[in-house]
Amino acid sequence: MKILLVEDEVRIADEVIDALKGAGYVVDHVADGETAWFQGDTEEYDAVILDLGLPGLDGLSVLKRWRGNDRRFPILILSARGSWSERVEGIDAGADEYLPKPFHMEELLARLRAIIRRAAGQVTGVLQVGPLSLDPKQMRVTKDGQALNLSPQEYRLISYLMHHAGRVVTQIELTEHLYAQDFERDSNAIEVLVGRVRKKVGPDLIETRRGFGYVMKGDGE
């Protein structure tokens, strides 16, 4: 899962980046509104954490531009300005969550998991696809109750496919969501990664659709 963090306060940004990476996310960070608008309009993200008090273009304007261009990723607003009217304006403009500063990092991560889960149509904190269970809070994947020993990249792949189970996911989409923007993208990397994961989850859970991509299959599919 790849997150765009838009935050101009260096200390807060560094702390959030560390927490996100520790929770298994890939993070792109920008510190001003104009760059944020361009980044969110041209790159694919699973969620955005957006500060409102940005230099240049303010966060609310960035949000409105994204939604006006039909960018549908879930957005969690951060702001030191905690008035109820501003919260209402942010939600009405298309934000999915609003977290006032200062905040506890555990709450930010919980709210982030919730908006990603809702965007994928999931209603419970633990995802279940066939014999696989994914607990995003614990960063733990089990098969038939047995924990799998996964590398961070293997975990990200399984997490993304489970959040989009039953849908064909292309190699390009996986590359965009599993790697940071500055990663040197090897055209073979996804194929190799899927091969490694299949050895751990079994050969039948991830189906290759030649010329299209991959599908994580559940029971009866």
Domains and CATH numbers, the chain: 2-119 (3.40.50.2300), 127-216 (1.10.10.10)
Q: Give the pLDDT mean for 89-93.
A: 87
Tokens coding 58: 């303010």
Q: Give the pLDDT mean for 136-157.
A: 94
Q: Give the pLDDT mean for 38-59.
A: 93
pTM: 0.85
Nearest to 131 by CA among 120, 148, 145: 145
| pLDDT band at 99; cut points 50, 70, 90 | very high
Residues 173-189 have pLDDT tens digits of 998 898 876 666 666 88
Side-chain-side CA neighbours of residue 191 (13 Å): 7
Q: Give the pLDDT mean for 15-31.
A: 96
Range of 13-17, 98-102, 137-141 with top mean pLDDT: 13-17
Residue 215's H or E segment, with its range, is strand 213-216
Tokens coding 160: 């993304």
Judged against a pLDDT cut of 50, whether residue 220 lies above it is answered with no
What is the overall mean pLDDT for the chain? 90
Judged against a pLDDT cut of 90, whether residue 80 lies above it is answered with no
pLDDT at position 83 = 67
Judged against a pLDDT cut of 90, whether residue 219 lies above it is answered with no
pLDDT at position 82 = 61
What is the distance in angstroms between the CA of the first residue and the CA of the last residue of the chain? 24
Give the percent of the chain with pLDDT over 70.
Answer: 94
Nearest to 42 by CA among 54, 58, 24, 28: 28
**∠ CA 173-35-97, rounded to 5°:** 70
The whole-angstrom separation of Cα 159 and Cα 101 is 29
